[in-house]
Amino acid sequence: MQNVYDTLKARGFIENVTDEEAVKALLNEPRVCYTGFDPTGDSLHVGHLLPIMALMHMERAGHKPIALLGGGTAMIGDPSGKTEMRQMITAGTIEANKEAMKKQIGHYLDVEGGKSLVLDNARWLLPLNYIEFLREIGRHFSVNRMLAAEAYKQRLERGLSFIEFNYQILQAFDFLTLYRSHGCLLQMGGNDQWGNILAGEDLVRRLEGKEVHAFTYPLLTTADGKKMGKTEKGAVWLSSEKLSPYEYFQFWRNVEDSQVIKLLKLFTFLPLKEISEMEEWTDSRINKAKERLAYEATVITHGEEEARKALEATKAVFAGAGASNEALPGTEIKEEDLNVRNWDAASFLAELGFSPSKSEAKRLIKQGGVSFNGEKVSDFAMAVTEACFDENKECLIKMGKKTFFKVVLK
């Protein structure tokens, strides 16, 4: 079997590595490795997916990944690469976030079966005794060196609070703890974590005299350099409650041309050979590759059933084929409401939540961006009546070029 490091490297997961040969050698046998996740939100989003995919590869290769929830470090806030201090989160929020994230991680990794672990660093960070910790751990950290680190540069100009300055030390301590308790020899993380990760590697060497290793993932950005996974409407959530599988599918379907191959390697398990064949699909054929990406990625997060429905709904609205549009986001309204409310088109969109405000809806309609069942809405004062619904009592609302909603009359 191929060394999982080679797999990860070939698929584009590796940005920085402490010692390539050593890591490979290490991974010739089943090992424990870990990546940290900060429970700063109530759901995982696409930004978390890359580490998760890497852990999935690890698990599949017979290693034992640990997803480490930063329940303790989240109380502090990581200053790396940030320009401003992060808002402090309350302990209660962190607790709730942890639960949610743990559940979601279990969706990707076999936690129940014990092939992977989810741990929480609050367990060892919260009980720490300050003086003891300073004496044992703190003395190994050179302030001079920490200050020289790239990660702090920006913050040195803008101001860095002492609490944040400690983040790196705590993360290093995590690595040490996991080495001691689980024999963990490898830490992975986003490239912005490189400094923190090296600090941990260093600490283990100093205290335990043991070489541990690490590598980082590239930070994914869109072609114009923005963080991937943030849309105007917010993060691309991995929870179907926060983002429907159809919309999730659409997110992947709409990635830029230049990113498709890269994303296929990172976010699907398709064999590299198959992916490299897709590189030939230029011009409009690249849409096939995007569709494949969207489908595979949706399968991983939402399962085959949902992925299939999303694909079908996509075909229904974009290709006009008679496929089922079941997966489309939308809502139901009562027939009597239609008569009682006397909706005009703009209020209709606003009140059903498809448009953030009535003004916005009016603007959109005025600009010719809305159609009901394929028929352009030319006047925002147009009355919404049964005539807007088809024989199945459905109204397919198209807003802009690629946003679809469905309203069903009950």
Partner RNA sequence: GGAGGGAUGCCCGAGUGGUUAAAGGGGGCAGACUGUAAAUCUGUUGCCAGCCGGCUACGAAGGUUCAAAUCCUUCUCCCUCCA
Residues that bind RNA (CB under 7 A): 157-159, 223-224, 232, 250, 253-254, 256-257, 283-284, 286-287, 290-291, 314, 318, 346-347, 350, 356-360, 362-364, 367-369, 380-381, 399-403
| H or E stretch covering 274 | helix 272-278
Q: Please confirm, yes or no, whether 227 is among the known catalytic residues.
A: yes
Comparing CB distances to RNA, the nearer of 183 and 400 is 400
Q: From the candidates 60, 115, 206, 230, which is the catalytic residue?
A: 230
CB of 258 to RNA, least distance (A): 8
Q: Please confirm, yes or no, whether 213 is among the known catalytic residues.
A: no
Comparing CB distances to RNA, the nearer of 69 and 397 is 397
Strand partners of residue 396: 406
CB of 320 to RNA, least distance (A): 11
Comparing CB distances to RNA, the nearer of 123 and 158 is 158
CB of 350 to RNA, least distance (A): 6
**Is the CB of residue 266 less than 8 Å from the CB of residue 12?**
yes
CA distances from 226 to 44, 49, 78, 158, 220 (A): 19, 17, 20, 22, 8
Phi-psi category of residue 260: left, alpha or beta, with phi > 0 → left and psi -120 to 50 → alpha: alpha
Comparing CB distances to RNA, the nearer of 198 and 345 is 345
Q: Please confirm, yes or no, whether 82 is among the known catalytic residues.
A: yes
Between CA 306 and CA 331 the distance in angstroms is: 18
Q: How many of the other CB atoms lie within 10 Å of CB of 164? A: 19
**Is the CB of residue 65 less than 8 Å from the CB of residue 34?**
yes
Q: Please confirm, yes or no, whether 57 is among the known catalytic residues.
A: no
304-314 helix and 245-253 helix, angle to the nearest 10 degrees: 60
Q: Please confirm, yes or no, whether 45 is among the known catalytic residues.
A: yes
Expressed in percent and rounded to 5, the helix, strand and coil fractions of the chain are: 50, 15, 35
CB of 131 to RNA, least distance (A): 26
Between CA 198 and CA 80 the distance in angstroms is: 13
CB of 285 to RNA, least distance (A): 8
- Residue 319 burial by Cβ neighbours in a 10 Å radius (0-12, 13-18, 19+): exposed
* Catalytic residue set: 40, 45, 48, 82, 86, 171, 192, 227, 230-231
